[in-house]
Structure 1
Amino acid sequence: MALIGRADDRPTSAHAPLRVLHDGRWFPADEMSKGAAYELFADEPLPGFLPNPRPGARHKFRRFVHATDVLAATGLGSRAAAVIATGEQPLAELPDQPLRMPVSRSLDWAGLHRLSQQPATADSVVAAIRRSATIRRGTRMIKVLSARQLVGHLRGWLPSGFCYREYDVAHLRTPAELGVLRGDGADPGDVVFALRWRAVDPLDYAVPSVDTYPGFVNIPPGDRMGPPIIGSGFAPADRHLVPEFVTADLADLPLTANASLLAYTTDGTEVTLYTYLAEQHTWARMWGPQWRHLLSSVPEGFPGDQEYFPVPAAPTRFVGRYRGETYDAIADPPGEFRLAAKIRAARYPVESIARRTVYARWRGVPCTIVRSEAGWLRVRPCRPDAEAIDQLAAQCVERGVYETWAPATEVTDAREVDIEYRL
């Protein structure tokens, strides 16, 4: 018998297990992703429910739903119950805000979804709704990766291009659901990977609309990778309404402390594969032998059993000022910014912090410098369009991101730009 019932069946004790009202029924549940989504449980295979893979689980089936799809909740989740039981003081963390849609007789959910799947100018209704999805300091961001990109990040790639607030995609847990957010458009198969980090400042992100990145919409299909870029600020999707972001100028962002590389399986399980140790500039392996099969799709020769992956220095990095001098810095948002030092006693709080990024021009096109090797620079156009791509002979490396090698002697106006953050 499924643990579902009518509204008057809900528990009344404030310390009772969490139950939520979804689709007219009450389900046992637990919070996910800081309350952005819920994991619902049932004892029979109801529509939308997946088998529960946990050994010895009390409930045989589960489903993931977004917090905005839950009409009511009562009781405590496992995290809140643990806080009460142990007396632990939870970290003060502001919640992200959902999309806000104006009440209208003429615009229902289906109509809004249709509008989100076509270009939208700044004065349109859908653009006003899109602006309600904002990033704050500490917002958890996520970028869905292919196996090739997973290996690239372990070897030094940085967050760039299209990304999403975890709040908006926390209920998407299977490769089939997350596959549309991959940058290469390939079949996700039985596992999909992701990079998760915390935003340092809204300055680092932009909305990929027809007003901010007009060239995206007109790039020929032969020069694109992955799903088309609509220009409304929303991802192309047949059911979900997912706000998209791009890194400002499509530039790399430095990794924040405790960033993680994840895997999602067909049963909705999230596995933390690697965690970024900022002081050591290293990815540390977190997975055990039971998850070895998740890496079967990575390129041949990848050392899956390697414990640590040193991250090489990159042109983009955090810098901070301390007693009048500038040093490399570490960002651990929302509240910790300090000098980069392996010794705890030398991890002084910085007086100011900035993202240092190298900009340049090649053949008249504004670019950022991704890396340099033996007299050559890897350049990435800040505002790619059909003309710039053709002029630079740039290749699409992922959805919306184009790169090419340029002789260092031909690149002009190369300069380090510090984007200052307000502490």
Structure 2
Amino acid sequence: MQAPPAAQTGITEIVWHDRRYRARAAAGGAAFEIYSDTSEPGFQPAGATFHRFVHASEVTSSGGEMLLAGVAPLAIPVMPGITASTVHQYSQNPRIGPAERALVSATRATAFITPGTRMVKPLSRHQVSRQLTSAPLVSGLCFREFDVAHLRFPGDRIVLSGDPDDVRDIAFGLRWRAIGPDDYTSSELVNFPGLVGIPGRERRGSMVLGTGFLPSGTHLIPEYATAGLADLPLSARAEILAYTPDGAEIALFQYQPQTNVWNRVAGARHRDLVNRIPGLETGRTLFRVNPSVHAGLTGEHEGERVPITADPGHGFHAYARGAASRSPITAPRRFHTRARWRDTEVLALGRNEDWVRLRLSQPDIEAIMAADATCVERGVYECWAPLAELEDPRTILTEYPVPPSPPIP
């Protein structure tokens, strides 16, 4: 094997598919970029050599790089005759029997989310534009970054797409840190029984299998949905990313909640990537979002309940003169509104005078037809309804634990 150019640092040696390769850890140890001096299936040209990305769980390395990622990989139950290939085969079949489903569910349950886990969601170019110019929220189907870290080429990331795009030489995504595990649920049948039976004409992107895994012929990727398909507040320093044909991951924008802006962090040499996003003013570097919208994230601060921002790993902060207050936040929680309309469970997202935007919390073909809802992205169905017709409106609360304060030296 031929080592990559000397300018690339952190080169190690790994074993993948019983062969030794020069490699470099990527995504904090969740994946490896491996190199070959000859063209091989799945490898792309990279100067005088060829490269591809593989997940760290697929390789043997003496460096322990995967431990640095801080996220545990899937664990397959120890049973005679059961391999990862067996679980993958069952995970791709929505009609498996109870025994097979129990095996898949046991595997799926090993994919944990903890406060601070880095989450990602694929975005189309139009979704990027809307993200920059609307409330700082995220909802729908998403993934742990750890599980998809090896999908770096735009062609590989198509499998994740929730809003199919006609562009194949670039891919976009949103990355943020989870505030708490209760904000996410598996896409298994028990949580979303109606999604499995929705026909192709009523959906965008690939079908939801109901096994908790993404439809893929080669990857075993656990799939998540925001709890109840509700909007979640973006945490501090969330990023909008671009993935280029050479496998580079480039941060284009970063969210700063204390100033309520998306700040362009990509330099001039990446201006062409920003220009691929429709509807953006050329050269614009700041995109201000509505400071009054925080997906119902509030906390007790100096005796009052106020909007707060989440910075996993560093706690919660109140807004005080454009900067984070030093007074501690207690009782952080998120709230959203649920109701019924035309005998369908919905989330109330926003109002426009006497009309309210609704999202189906348990989509199925009957509810879609009754509400005349439109699929706005994979698994997410929305419509507008007269406010006066909503029944049983109620507030749903999600409590977050307050992280312990660091010891005083």
Q: Pick the aligned partner of 1:202 from 166, 169, 181.
A: 181
| Residues 118-169 of structure 1: CA deviation (Å, up to 9, x unaligned) | 1255962111111111111111000001111111111125211100000000
Q: Is the 8 A contact 1:200 1:334 kept in 2?
A: no
Partner of 1:8: none
Partner of 1:141: 119
Partner of 1:108: 83
Partner of 1:350: 329
Residue 228 of structure 2 aligns to a residue in which SS?
A: helix
Q: Pick the aligned partner of 1:264 from 227, 230, 243.
A: 243
- Does 125-134 or 245-254 show the bigger shift? 125-134
Q: Report whether the alignment pairs 1:37 with 2:37.
A: no
Partner of 2:405: none
Partner of 2:140: 161
Q: Is the 8 A contact 2:241 2:251 kept in 1?
A: yes
Partner of 1:82: none
Q: Report whether the alignment pairs 1:2 with 2:2.
A: yes
Q: Is the 8 A contact 1:314 1:370 kept in 2?
A: no
- Does 103-112 or 284-293 show the bigger shift? 103-112
Looking at structure 2, the residues matched to 93 and 408 of structure 1 have their Cα atoms a distance apart, in angstroms, of 50
Given residue 77 of structure 2, which amino acid in structure 1 is its aligned partner? P
CA distance 1:93–1:24, shift in 2 (3 Å): closer
- Does 344-353 or 108-117 show the bigger shift? 344-353
| Residues 178-237 of structure 1: CA deviation (Å, up to 9, x unaligned) | 111111234441111100000111110111111111000111222111101111011111
CA distance 1:331–1:362, shift in 2 (3 Å): same
Partner of 1:83: none
Q: Report whether the alignment pairs 1:232 with 2:211.
A: yes
Residue 240 of structure 1 aligns to a residue in which SS?
A: coil
Partner of 2:287: 309
Q: Is the 8 A contact 1:316 1:358 kept in 2?
A: no
Q: Report whether the alignment pairs 1:320 with 2:320.
A: no
1:342, distance to aligned residue in structure 2 (A): 4.3
Looking at structure 2, the residues matched to 76 and 149 of structure 1 have their Cα atoms a distance apart, in angstroms, of 33
In structure 2, stretches of 5+ residues that fail to align are: 5-9, 403-409
Partner of 1:413: 392
Q: Is the 8 A contact 2:77 2:106 kept in 1?
A: no
Q: Is the 8 A contact 1:18 1:76 kept in 2?
A: no
Residue 273 of structure 1 aligns to a residue in which SS?
A: strand
Q: Is the 8 A contact 1:36 1:167 kept in 2?
A: yes
1:34, distance to aligned residue in structure 2 (A): 2.1
1:343, distance to aligned residue in structure 2 (A): 4.5
Q: Is the 8 A contact 2:29 2:68 kept in 1?
A: no
CA distance 1:349–1:52, shift in 2 (3 Å): farther
1:102, distance to aligned residue in structure 2 (A): 2.1
- Does 109-118 or 339-348 show the bigger shift? 339-348
Looking at structure 2, the residues matched to 17 and 267 of structure 1 have their Cα atoms a distance apart, in angstroms, of 18
Partner of 1:28: 22
Looking at structure 2, the residues matched to 373 and 406 of structure 1 have their Cα atoms a distance apart, in angstroms, of 10
Looking at structure 1, the residues matched to 326 and 343 of structure 2 have their Cα atoms a distance apart, in angstroms, of 42
Q: Report whether the alignment pairs 1:217 with 2:196.
A: yes
Q: Report whether the alignment pairs 1:72 with 2:61.
A: yes
Looking at structure 2, the residues matched to 341 and 372 of structure 1 have their Cα atoms a distance apart, in angstroms, of 28
Partner of 1:81: none
Looking at structure 2, the residues matched to 345 and 264 of structure 1 have their Cα atoms a distance apart, in angstroms, of 32
CA distance 1:415–1:95, shift in 2 (3 Å): same
1:381, distance to aligned residue in structure 2 (A): 1.1
Looking at structure 2, the residues matched to 111 and 411 of structure 1 have their Cα atoms a distance apart, in angstroms, of 46
1:42, distance to aligned residue in structure 2 (A): 4.0
Q: Is the 8 A contact 1:186 1:226 kept in 2?
A: no
User: Number of aligned pairs?
Assistant: 393
TM-score in terms of structure 2 length: 0.89
Looking at structure 1, the residues matched to 359 and 324 of structure 2 have their Cα atoms a distance apart, in angstroms, of 39
Partner of 2:407: none
- Does 157-166 or 243-252 show the bigger shift? 157-166
Residue 73 of structure 1 aligns to a residue in which SS?
A: coil
Looking at structure 2, the residues matched to 418 and 75 of structure 1 have their Cα atoms a distance apart, in angstroms, of 40
Looking at structure 1, the residues matched to 220 and 182 of structure 2 have their Cα atoms a distance apart, in angstroms, of 23
1:345, distance to aligned residue in structure 2 (A): 6.7
Q: Is the 8 A contact 1:355 1:418 kept in 2?
A: yes
Percent identical residues: 40
Q: Is the 8 A contact 1:17 1:76 kept in 2?
A: no
Q: Pick the aligned partner of 1:184 from 163, 170, 189.
A: 163
Q: Report whether the alignment pairs 1:63 with 2:52.
A: yes
Partner of 1:401: 380
Q: Pick the aligned partner of 1:97 from 57, 69, 72.
A: 72
In structure 1, stretches of 5+ residues that fail to align are: 5-15, 54-58, 78-91
Q: Report whether the alignment pairs 1:173 with 2:162.
A: no
Looking at structure 1, the residues matched to 151 and 69 of structure 2 have their Cα atoms a distance apart, in angstroms, of 22
Q: Report whether the alignment pairs 1:379 with 2:358.
A: yes
1:371, distance to aligned residue in structure 2 (A): 2.0
Looking at structure 2, the residues matched to 330 and 232 of structure 1 have their Cα atoms a distance apart, in angstroms, of 34
Q: Pick the aligned partner of 1:292 from 245, 250, 271.
A: 271
CA distance 1:71–1:130, shift in 2 (3 Å): same
Looking at structure 1, the residues matched to 11 and 378 of structure 2 have their Cα atoms a distance apart, in angstroms, of 43
